[in-house]
Chains A and B, each alone.
Chain A
Amino acid sequence: MFDKIALLGFGPGGWGLALLQGAANTISVALATLPFGLALGLVIALWKRSDKVVLRAAATIYTTVFRGVPELLTLYIIYFGIQVLLQKVWTGFSIPPFVAGMVALGLVLAAFSSEVWVGALNSIQRGQREAASALGLSKAQAFRLVVFPQLIRVALPGLGNNWMVLLKETSLISVITLQDIMFIATRANVVTKEPFLFFGSAMLLYFFFSLVSAWGIGKLEQRTHRGYAAFGGATR
């Protein structure tokens, strides 16, 4: 039993460092994707509520497509498909795997999170915007100062869910040569024939990230509810 633990260590023949590097790659792809995906999701959500029929249609088509297409396929399309197409006009063009992974996962995250944003936007009463306008705030100011702080409070639980899903979706990125946790775990298993040890370690790493995320999201929720806590009970 204990000789097997050495395989997870940092000495010669130990996969500890490789696994940690894999974990670092997993988390950096997820963190790089998050702001891009959420921001795009918010834009799509605003389009969905737009007066202009073209924007509404575009947003609906976008979410239908990217919620419907498997993430794996989206990765292939961005990493291989786009490259093959662009090379016809720009030889030597090469999309880096990290960027491809970030864009592909971000597009999917945007599609899913846009629905969360729409729900949150719907929960904010019209009167809030009217009052902001009556106070002389521009549309942009009203969004930034009045709507957004309330929006984030309602959206956060849903977005937290999206983040957890994203974290696990990153396990697909080894198909585009990124060496994430799963990539290292499968390679280590092939060499050492210790599947339980390495897939177990991979599981614990993902589990650790989920625990930290759940704690972080909880803290954020507390903060966005701070105006309500005064009235007794943050989530009541």
Chain B
Amino acid sequence: MRTLVSASVLARHRGLYWTIFGGTVGAFVLAFLFPVYWMVVGAMKSPEELVRTPPTLVPSEWHPGTYRDAWGTMDLTTHLTNTVVQAAGAWVLQLVFCTLAAYALSRLRPAFGRVILGGILATLMVPASALLVPKYLTVVDLPLVHLNLLNSPWAIWLPAVANAFNLYLLKRFFDQLPAELLEAAEIDGAGAVRRLWHVVLPLSRPVLGVVSIFAVVAVWQDFLWPLLVFTDTNKSPISVALVQLSNDLPVSQLIAAMVIASVPMIALFLIFQRHIIAGIGAGSVKG
């Protein structure tokens, strides 16, 4: 594909190209990979070595046991389980309710559907931080039923469903599905549920994948909201636990815990990188 510099110019300046290429690779390694390396390796240095000046590039003694110690002191089993439960629930509920609502708005066209869609899109204009306090007060005392959701995963799960961005992504995708397929299914006597399950969903795997990744990553990375709704540290996800326990831990153990908290996200990225990169483009360029 033709870009800014043509292939013939590039062929004439081989040396310059490889210099720039090498420089860029070096800069990327230093800027993006080295900090991660420093974190992974820093956790395995002894406490004395960690504060040594000048620092060692490779640990002179390896202490991989720090990871085990950090797991124990920070009770990472509890916090990782909490995070997984919160992320999984948010994922399932968001997938079910956003898909149902998006399908209804896109294909069933109920009365006042446009008004409802407008109301949902309007929430995109409201910055999340502006709703922080009233949303917290709602969770503390749910209107009408007067339930307190503090320290319960429902405080993560239910607000996660109110995700206008993912709902709109799904709705736009459903809008573009071939109408004659759905009409044919309707003529064959398939009801709304069967049409959704047997026609729409099998065609929607790419968008469902993107929404799933967005849903899980959002919960795993969130900090302020879980900080507010989990006052009991034993219920809190890993991100909150890291900050709350960061001052009581030896530095090397804290760093080890940080690595452990990042591993699932990095693994997710390496496995689903194509979907994630496609999703970034879809989510923002196409609005």
Q: Please determine whether chains A and B interact with each other in the same assembly.
A: no
A residues with a Cβ closer than 8 A to B are none
Q: Which residues of B contact A (CB under 8 A)?
A: none
